[in-house]
Amino acid sequence: MKLSNAIKSAVPAAILGILALGITPMAGASTVTSNMAVTASVQATCIVNAAAMAFGTYVSTAASTSTANITVTCTNSTTYTLGLDAGATSGASVTTRQMKNGAAVLNYALFSDAGHTTNWGNTTGSWVSGIGNGAGQAIPVYGQAAAGQYVTPGAYTDTIIATVTY
């Protein structure tokens, strides 16, 4: 098989065209490098999510208890405290919280231990402390409405504000 004269003359012309465009073969190519600095600043942050606490049906002859979780998510190694306020009922305190039904109130308390001995408030000594690990940490809240409260029948409610300080 013989190459035609047209092809024979086209190949050198193509090589000359490539050289004219400044395209050179990779043989003998050089490289240089440079470092690029990459930085970030991570700020401490926390998120809090409180689940509802339901005591169910209160019977005045026996204490009513309930448990709910507050989930705190903080950046890794961030120290925090979790405090609970007195609630929305006027006259309530962190040691005697009150659910309200019209003018009637049902007293209850919130604790940081299952034995209902450590009252949970929002001041030094009554809050719960922790260290964030980047994942949600479920912290149980133990509630108790003491026996012996002969209150008006109906639905009682309150709203507690959970505050994370970090």
Model confidence over 111-134: pLDDT tens digits? 999 999 999 999 999 999 999 999
pLDDT of residue 14: 55
Task: Calculate mean pLDDT across residues 147-151.
Answer: 97
* pLDDT value, residue 23: 55
- The pLDDT value recorded for residue 25 is 54
Q: What is the pTM of this model?
A: 0.78
Q: What is the pLDDT of residue 28?
A: 82
- Listed in order, strand segments (DSSP E) in the chain are 46-50, 64-74, 79-84, 97-101, 104-111, 128-131, 136-145, 162-165
Residue 146 in this model has a pLDDT that exceeds 70: yes
